[in-house]
Structure 1
Amino acid sequence: MNAPNQRIIECNGIHINIAEQGEGPLVLLVHGFPESWFSWRHQIDALAAAGFRVVAPDLRGYGKSDAPQAIDQYTILHLVGDMVGILDALGAPAAVIVGHDWGASIAWQAALMRPDRFRAVAALSVPFRPRGKAPPTSLMPRTENAQFYQLYFQEPGPAEAELGRDPRATIRNMLFGASGDGVAAARAAVAAGG
């Protein structure tokens, strides 16, 4: 197969970069944190070869898509709205939506809010969590040895300052740390008393 084509579309008042490939029923692939459409590159090719039209956007704030400055522009309603806006821009009445990590939460909510547009959902690594009486972050541990990364990003300021000091090193370290080589290096350091 060929490499996916990338282009910028307009939806919900912003520009969103999409990678697309193939012909047939539409499959929308939604990436997680800190990823981009590129994390789906192998699945895009395989799904297109299997007879699907595959679209993987960079979510707002990621990759080549616009990054609105206001924090309130990143609610689940905005993110689901972007997925619907992508379908509208493509002239597609409906799609199967697939999400990974944060993208899985978006996929679940898209299918719940707009079952007329998202006829099926596949979620990788994040199970469905129905709305509860307490915010999900209030249930996450906050100890010296256990803290969910989502908590780090709840207050504006500290995360941006720390991660923004050297963005290239930050992303490289995050991706290496989560890779097989990074995990092996961490285990070796612990075994050596480091």
Structure 2
Amino acid sequence: MLTSFVDGVFCCLTGKSTNVIVPVETSEPADGFEFVEVKPGRVLRVRHIMPDRPVVEEPTGQGGSVSCKRRITVYRNGQLFIENLGDRAKTELPNCQNGETEPNCTVEVELPECNSSSPPIREAAAATGEADQLQQPKKRRRKPKRTVVIDCERRISCCKGTHSDVALFFIHGVGGSLDIWGNQLDFFSRLGYEVIAPDLAGHGASSAPQIAAAYTFYALAEDIRLIFKRYARRRNILVGHSYGVSFCTFLAHEYPDQVHKMVMINGGGPTALEPSLCSIFNLPTCVLHCLSPLLAWSFLKAGFARQGAKEKQLLKENNAFNVSSFVLRAMMSGQYWPEGDEVYHAELTVPILLVHGMYDKFVPIEEDQRMAEILLMAFLKVLDDGSHMIMMECPEAVNTLLHEFFLWEPETQPKKESKARPETAKARPDTTKTTCETAKVRPATAQHNSSNCGSQADSKTKK
């Protein structure tokens, strides 16, 4: 603590940072590690494990097809009306923590009725024949600002490690490194999966430029995009943690045909990123350097359900929250992504598993619930024994959840029954119509149980 304080005072007096912004030395063997130059002078460390495995091609006809038909209406007051028009996977989808499933119908955010005029005025208008003139402004206020229609068929299949066209990408968040995925990389590589995990710029053993513009969302997203293009297979699964979830969402939006499934671990709500104006990370770099021991202690306190010797050792061994004050300040100030709003997330058609640690103090559970409500095919799993760094705290539980999700595929509904029983088949549409009408009457809200799967929470900055 004293050394950090002296270094910080020296930084303030000289106007120069005492942090030497260079890649962190790694003591791990070079096997499985590659250094990729994404731009001149910008080098990222990537752990790439290509296991020796018997090549088993995916059988033809395996998997199920899901109709992704959705209409997203954006009103001028910012509210959404989301209507799911296509069939979604039903009982075959992964269950929530309590084993229950939500009906896969519509996600609706109803607009309140606009009562701009009082009843006496309406009556007077009706008497004078001016009712149409008063109703016209009401229609203008209700006029949608934007309407997005999604209509596609998505084929979802089981992804096994023996399939040569499957690759797993693991993206960490602010202050982390690829080492936080150590348990997951070892587990899935032993199962035969090809795994790829990069260090973000300024993290782990990647290069750390000395300009703040190198750590904006767009600069980091471009790095991840180039890494994805370099290692991507035909079917790719993205796994992101916290801020890394935003980069996974960006890739899934840019490459919908190549991203097969996605996992969001404590990623927060579906809101556009915006740096906080009243944040400790807006302090000068030298002040942050003085406070680095306090920040590390705060991260341990908020990021782990328990704060014992084991958790401290995990932070040290996995190179978590071991970045310079300059990089930390630039990362938090560069989280500006106005495109990543609720509509952006609602347009995703990829199946998504959300994993949330019950004791997470960085991301409230309401934010992941909101994310699950907005996404088309999202399944929320809540682990009672974990916090923000749940992949390090509960590696066995996280690995099991991820593996089950990778192997999941919807079953194709048989069509023989409708031919054998035409009378029943004719009666079914009326029942379905009644069910859908009931769902439309009941708007979805964010007050679902924490274990609900079906679908909706908010955050502006992510760690």
In the superposition, the TM-score normalised over structure 1's length comes to 0.69
Instruction: Give, in whole Å, the separation in 2 of the partners of 1:95 and 1:122.
Output: 11
**How much has 1:122 moved relative to structure 2?**
1.2
**How much has 1:124 moved relative to structure 2?**
0.5
CA contact (8 A) 1:10 1:89 kept: no
Structure whose residues are more often helix by fraction: 1
Q: List alignment gaps of at least 5 residues for structure 2.
A: 1-28, 52-163, 309-463
User: 1:11 matched to which residue of 2?
Assistant: 38
Q: Residue deviations 1:21-47, cap 9 Å, x none?
A: 234421110012221000000000111
SS of equivalent to 1:33: coil
**How much has 1:18 moved relative to structure 2?**
1.0
Instruction: Give, in whole Å, the separation in 2 of the partners of 1:10 and 1:38.
Output: 20
CA RMSD of aligned residues (A): 3.1
Which amino acid is 1:6 matched to? F
CA contact (8 A) 2:234 2:258 kept: yes
User: 2:58 matched to which residue of 1?
Assistant: none
1:173 pairs, out of 282, 291, 297, with: 297
Query: What does 1:49-60 align with in structure 2 at a 5 Å threshold?
Result: 49-60=190-201
**Identical aligned residues as a percent:** 22
Which amino acid is 1:163 matched to? L
CA contact (8 A) 2:242 2:268 kept: no
Instruction: Give, in whole Å, the separation in 1 of the partners of 2:175 and 2:294.
Output: 10
Higher-RCO chain (CA-CA 8 Å, sequence separation at least 6):
2
CA contact (8 A) 2:196 2:231 kept: no
User: 2:287 matched to which residue of 1?
Assistant: 162
Instruction: Give, in whole Å, the separation in 1 of the partners of 2:200 and 2:39.
Output: 12
1:20 pairs, out of 48, 51, 64, with: 48
CA contact (8 A) 1:80 1:106 kept: yes
**How much has 1:109 moved relative to structure 2?**
1.9
User: 1:41 matched to which residue of 2?
Assistant: 182
User: 1:83 matched to which residue of 2?
Assistant: 224
**How much has 1:181 moved relative to structure 2?**
3.9
Q: List alignment gaps of at least 5 residues for structure 1.
A: 143-150, 184-194
After TM superposition, the runs of 4+ consecutive aligned structure 1 residues lying more than 3 A away are: 88-94, 116-119, 135-138, 169-172, 178-181
- 1:152 is the counterpart of 2:277: no
Distance 1:105 1:152, change over 3 A: farther
Distance 1:181 1:99, change over 3 A: same
CA contact (8 A) 2:46 2:196 kept: yes
Instruction: Give, in whole Å, the separation in 1 of the partners of 2:300 and 2:271.
Output: 33
Aligned residues: 165
CA contact (8 A) 1:9 1:89 kept: no
Which amino acid is 2:172 matched to? H
Instruction: Give, in whole Å, the separation in 1 of the partners of 2:169 and 2:295.
Output: 25
